[in-house]
Amino acid sequence: MDFGLTEEQQMVQDMAKRFAEDEIAPYIEEDEENHHYRREILTKMGELGLLGWSIPEEYGGNGMGWMEAVTALYEIAKVHTSWRLSISGNCWGPAFTINEYGTEEQKQKYIPGLVSGEFVGSFAITEANVGSDVGAMKTTAEDKGDHWLLNGSKMWISGGHTCDVGLVYAVTREGGGVKGLSCFVIDYRDIEGCERIPIHSKVGMWPAPTSELVFENCKIPKDALLGEEGKGFQICMWMLNNTRMGCATGSAALAAACGEGAAQYCNERIQFGQPIGKFQAIQHQIATLKLEEDAAKYLVYRAAWLKENKLPSQQATSIAKVYGCKAAVEGANLAMKIYGAYGYSTEYPCGRWLRDAKQFETLEGTSNIHMGIIGGIELGYQPNR
């Protein structure tokens, strides 16, 4: 067992940290205030290979895998949670899934652009009335012989109105339940009948765009089908087992940001003639933050290691995701308490941490769904994939 980073992983960590500090940190306040998605950050991520994890080099992959990916994502998310979404939005969501299920033509057409940052990517599962119960989705794709006709709407789609290409899950066999779903690769630049509506009412994650997609007799080409017809649910679960690592890593990193911020504040803030860190009550809060930070981080690394070694990782991924959420919410909550009145001020990051932390409990499987997966696998009710 080895808890250290290799020399390359150390370089990845250093580079991602510097990237986040140099290219993301200077814009946090401005972009939070304006709810602005700064696309050029994605372009730079692509140029530096931060979107090409576990992708073959022939399609522009960076030659690195899960351990390096979570190491880099952790550093980025620690600086600004919103930017953790791009790795799932471009790489683990569409690119990695197309690489697994796509035809050679689909791979060549979409993966290089998603990996280089030329395209913004997305994936669309959720609908207004369909969250955890994926099999109950209502959006349909009707086989019209020479094309598919999409009808319905998708809700809470990350990057929905800013993306160029994305995956859309829809019903191709009505009444077929989970066996009636299929997955499509959509080139949004090249279709009609899709309205993309930005959602501005989110509590947090302001610089990360979220959208509603409305498909009305939207024609998509016959070859937009990804994998086999009727295999959409299987593809969706395979994809989520990967993209959920974005949530797990992002939330663990957010917990770390809260812990590091709070510790620094404790050493600077003087009350009763000494830094507040000298008080036992505060020390216990800092210790709690550290416990959560470390537990969340190493659960992420374990899940990544299982994936890298192609071992069953679903339960470990759910554990990392649930624990990361808990660590992030508790961390943000404690940090705000420790920062006191300044924590409640928008001049300090505590408010952003708390707002961003809450997303993780819902996104890509609520904590309840993940507890179900963890328990179900433990009890032998479902396989660990």
Residue corresponding to tokens 């395979």 = 238
Active-site annotation holds for 8? no
Tokens, residue 263: 């510790």
Q: Are strands 165-171 and 121-124 parallel, antiparallel or unpaired?
A: parallel
- 189-228 residues in contact with another protein (CB under 8 A) are none
Binding mask 29-68 for another protein (x = CB under 8 A): ------------------xxxx-x---------xxx---x
Q: Is the CB of 46 or the CB of 180 nearer to another protein?
A: 46
Q: Is the CB of 12 or the CB of 137 nearer to another protein?
A: 12
Rounded least distance, CB 60 to another protein, Å: 9
The residues near 342 (Cβ < 8 Å, ≥ 6 apart) are 265, 348, 350
Tokens, residue 286: 């800092």
- 65-124 residues in contact with another protein (CB under 8 A) are 68, 72
**Which residue among 32, 47, 364, 378 is the active-site one?**
364
Candidates 2, 7, 104, 192; binder of another protein (CB under 8 A) is 7
Size, binding site for another protein by CB under 8 A: 20
Rounded least distance, CB 376 to another protein, Å: 36
**Is position 20 an interface residue for another protein (rule: CB under 8 A)?**
no
| Residue 320: Cβ within 10 Å count | 30
Q: Find how far residue 66's CA is from the centre of its chain.
A: 14
Rounded least distance, CB 10 to another protein, Å: 8
Stretch that binds another protein, among 10-18, 214-222, 304-312, 346-354 (CB under 8 A): 10-18
Stretch that binds another protein, among 8-16, 155-163, 248-256, 289-297 (CB under 8 A): 8-16
Q: Phi and psi at residue 77, in whole multiples of 5°?
A: -65, -30
Provide, for the chain, the percentages of residues in helix, strand and coil under a 3-state DSSP scheme, each rounded to the nearest 5. Answer: 55, 15, 25
Q: Is 43 exposed, middle or buried (0-12, 13-18, 19+ CB in 10 A)?
A: middle
The three-point CA angle 354-360-361 to 5° equals 100
Q: Is the CB of 40 or the CB of 47 nearer to another protein?
A: 47
Element (H, E) at 325: helix 314-339
Stretch that binds another protein, among 11-19, 33-41, 78-86, 176-184 (CB under 8 A): 11-19
CB 246 within 8 A of CB 73: yes
Annotated catalytic residues are 364
> Which residues here bind another protein, judged by CB under 8 A?
7-8, 10-12, 14-15, 18-19, 22, 47-50, 52, 62-64, 68, 72
